[in-house]
């Protein structure tokens, strides 16, 4: 149970999960990226790579270094990272702007190679999204948000079978929350409220997907009708920034 998912109203009058107030980068991430359904290989690979880097760290630390990580890791290009040699790994480890943990860097390289192997079977998106259950009920408060699920156990096992490393059930669940496969948005957060108002759903129901992105950060914050202007373009769910990944 993670009570950091309970809704807290900010100074701007918008409700967000409590974790989103830990640092401005978290608030911006929640408002502008979190919960956009990701289906494309590029965005899903980057998200999983960031979660691998997060183990033992705070999510805000990863977000603050994300632009540097993108530069160091060839824009998170699956094919480019999959070609990394031992000398490339050493180059990444020598860069003080990145995450200088050999096992994590090697795990991201292994993930890229695993994603390549998934392509004949439909790709990472098809493999991950088969665990989406549109009838899954939305939690009513943060105490009902789990850190893992039977589905995340299965997804982690499947990713490992393709050759991925350092991905357990908690990391897989955080991934599922982040890319919209599960909806852990609780009443009182602006995303849950806006989506319920627009779709006419009650909070016990699952949610439909009003926008699909191939890359992280594909939609601007201004696109949300609850904030002002534009049509609603986000789905609703959260990903734990401080906990929820496997410390392996």
Architecture of domain 39-192: Orthogonal Bundle (1.10)
Does the structure show a pLDDT above 50 at 23? Answer: yes
Comparing 106-115, 124-133, 222-231, 234-243, which segment has the lowest mean pLDDT?
222-231
The pLDDT of residue 219 = 39
Higher pLDDT, 29 or 87: 87
The pLDDT of residue 214 = 59
Does the structure show a pLDDT above 90 at 36? Answer: no
Domain range summary for the chain, segments of one domain joined by +: 39-192
Q: How far apart are CA 46 and CA 71, in angstroms?
A: 12
The pLDDT of residue 38 = 87
């Amino acid at each position: 149970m993670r009570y950091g998912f309970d809704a807290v109203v900010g100074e701007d009058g918008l409700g967000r999960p409590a974790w989103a107030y830990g640092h401005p980068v978290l608030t911006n991430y929640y408002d502008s990226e979190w919960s956009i359904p990701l289906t494309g290989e590029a965005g899903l690979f980057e998200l999983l790579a960031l979660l691998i880097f997060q183990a033992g760290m705070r999510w805000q630390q990863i977000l603050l270094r994300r632009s540097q990580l993108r530069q160091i890791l060839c824009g998170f290009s699956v094919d480019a990272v999959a070609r990394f040699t031992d000398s490339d790994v050493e180059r990444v480890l020598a860069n003080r702007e990145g995450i200088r943990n050999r096992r994590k860097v090697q795990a991201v390289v292994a993930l890229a190679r695993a994603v390549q192997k998934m392509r004949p079977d439909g790709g990472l998106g098809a493999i991950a999204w088969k665990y989406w259950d549109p009838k899954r009920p939305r939690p009513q408060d943060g105490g009902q948000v789990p850190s893992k699920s039977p589905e995340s156990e299965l997804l982690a096992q499947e990713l490992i079978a393709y050759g991925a490393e350092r991905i357990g059930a908690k990391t897989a669940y955080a991934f599922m929350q982040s890319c919209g496969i599960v909806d852990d948005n609780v009443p009182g957060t602006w995303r849950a409220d806006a989506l319920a108002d627009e779709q006419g759903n009650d909070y016990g129901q699952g949610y439909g997907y009003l926008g699909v992105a191939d890359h992280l950060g594909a939609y601007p914050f201004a696109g949300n009708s609850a904030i002002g202007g534009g049509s609603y373009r986000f789905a609703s769910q959260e990903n734990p920034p401080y906990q929820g990944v496997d410390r392996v």
